[in-house]
């Protein structure tokens, strides 16, 4: 399919199980949700045109959530995906890198024209996207049964960094579990790690090895840390304007203390920090997004959905790292005082602004 030209830029495809948006499919060029009949994937709902990046000071660049696009049969799935990718290959922007993602093609053509272009390539009409309901986007932390009788263990990795420190031998502990038990390792889109294929009678051994290396159980990690992530930013990324992975541990612990004082630590929002507006940690649909502006300063976004289905908006710009929590506390206090039972911070903020 690439031919001599490849695609204009990267192209992301995510699958999500119905009800479970832990892969954040609306932030991808194509999102695919299987619908089941008799326990087998029978048809697929496709979303198109998602992407997170934007540039400061360039309003013609923007984050965008994927639109529900079509429901397709299992037999037709590959052909439809191929048609979509082919349209991006042939019509995607190639001169201006900042507009080279599928989301701009979908936005500028409109979903109707985009659909007709896909249908022309396929030679038949597409059925509308069936509605998809989401119940959670939580990572699968702790113990979960696999269909084959074995188990997997989800381990939160703060900002995705696996290394040994004087207090927690995270890298050595994971290595020890993998070497001793021969388990598999999966990485999640929210920077957690799944140790898979654990026999039921060896679960205790996994806990003992991890605990022996000082690695806390998921339950022992504050909720706001479990639900947060940062991109690598400085010093690893050449595009970074400021820190993210190195700054968020400070910010998130201050935020945890503030949430604890407000009495809402167990309902903590999702928090994502990026070192520049490219948004690799997907800050724009988080309940709280912190986007690097320049050295030590961030734009504060609030009001995204914890399910990944709504973009947030700017609360404050160019905020020094030390003042980020201070800026957020009034909004969090208002949520604490006026939320509906069980209402998440992002949902409250969105409702309250209407
Ligand atoms: S969002 Fe982070 S990782 Fe992505 S380009 Fe910017 S600084 Fe680099």
Q: Taking the CA of residue 162 as centre, how many other CA atoms within 13 Å lie in the half-sphere pointing to its CB?
A: 11
User: Confidence class of residue 1 from pLDDT cuts 50, 70 and 90?
Assistant: confident
Q: Indicate the average pLDDT of the chain.
A: 97
Question: Which secondary structure element, helix H or strand E, spans residue 298, and what is its range?
Answer: strand 297-302
What pLDDT does 269 receive?
A: 98
Distance 7 CA to ligand 1 centre (A): 21
Q: For the chain, which residues make up each domain, given as ranges?
A: 13-134, 138-221, 224-353
User: Confidence class of residue 34 from pLDDT cuts 50, 70 and 90?
Assistant: very high
Confirm whether 13-134 and 138-221 share one CATH topology: no
CATH homologous superfamily of 138-221 equals: Sulfite Reductase Hemoprotein;Domain 2 (3.90.480.10)
Q: Please compute the mean of the pLDDT values over residues 187-213 and round it to a whole number.
A: 97
Q: Please compute the mean of the pLDDT values over residues 76-100 and round it to a whole number.
A: 96
What pLDDT does 22 receive?
A: 97
User: Confidence class of residue 16 from pLDDT cuts 50, 70 and 90?
Assistant: very high
Tell me if 285 sits within 8 A of 304, measured CB to CB: yes
Element counts in the chain: helices (H) and strands (E): 9, 15
Question: Can you name the CATH fold of 13-134?
Answer: Sulfite Reductase Hemoprotein; domain 1 (3.30.413)
Which tens digit of pLDDT belongs to each residue from 332-354? 999 999 999 999 999 999 999 88
The residue nearest atom 6 of ligand 1, judged by CA position, is 276
Distance 231 CA to ligand 1 centre (A): 6
For domain 224-353, the CATH architecture is 2-Layer Sandwich (3.30)
- As a residue count, the chain comes to 354
Distance 236 CA to ligand 1 centre (A): 9
- What percentage of residues in the chain have a pLDDT greater than 90? 97
């Amino acid at each position: 399919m690439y031919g001599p030209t490849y695609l204009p830029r990267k192209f992301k495809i995510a699958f999500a199980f119905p009800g479970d948006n832990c892969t954040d499919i609306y932030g991808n060029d194509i999102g695919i949700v299987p619908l089941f009949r008799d326990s087998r994937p029978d048809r697929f709902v496709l979303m198109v045109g998602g992407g997170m990046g934007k540039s400061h000071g360039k309003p013609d660049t923007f984050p965008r959530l994927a639109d529900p696009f079509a429901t397709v049969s299992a037999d037709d799935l590959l052909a439809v995906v191929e048609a979509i990718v082919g349209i991006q290959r042939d019509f995607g922007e190639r001169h201006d890198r900042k507009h080279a993602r599928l989301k701009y093609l979908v936005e500028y053509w409109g979903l109707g024209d985009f659909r007709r272009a896909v249908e022309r390539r396929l030679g038949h009409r597409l059925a509308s996207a069936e509605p998809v309901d989401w119940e959670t986007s939580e990572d699968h932390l702790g113990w979960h049964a696999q269909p084959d009788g074995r188990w997997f263990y989800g381990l939160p990795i703060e900002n995705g960094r696996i290394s040994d420190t004087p207090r927690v031998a995270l890298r050595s502990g994971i290595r020890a579990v993998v070497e001793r038990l021969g388990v598999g390792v999966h990485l999640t889109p929210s920077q957690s790690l799944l140790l898979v294929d654990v026999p039921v009678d060896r679960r205790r051994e996994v806990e003992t090895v991890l605990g022996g290396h000082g690695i806390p159980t998921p339950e022992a990690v504050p909720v706001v840390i479990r639900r947060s992530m940062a991109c690598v930013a400085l010093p690893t990324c050449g595009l970074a304007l400021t820190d993210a992975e190195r700054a968020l541990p400070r910010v998130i612990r201050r935020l945890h203390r503030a949430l604890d004082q407000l009495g809402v630590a167990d309902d903590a929002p999702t928090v994502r920090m990026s070192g520049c507006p490219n948004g690799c940690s997907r800050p724009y649909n988080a309940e709280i997004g912190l986007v690097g502006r320049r050295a030590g300063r961030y734009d504060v976004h609030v009001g995204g959905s914890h399910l990944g289905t709504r973009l947030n908006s700017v609360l404050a710009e160019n905020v020094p790292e030390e003042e980020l929590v201070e800026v957020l506390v009034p909004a969090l206090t208002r949520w604490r005082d006026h939320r509906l039972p069980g209402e998440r911070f992002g949902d409250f903020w969105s409702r309250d602004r209407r």
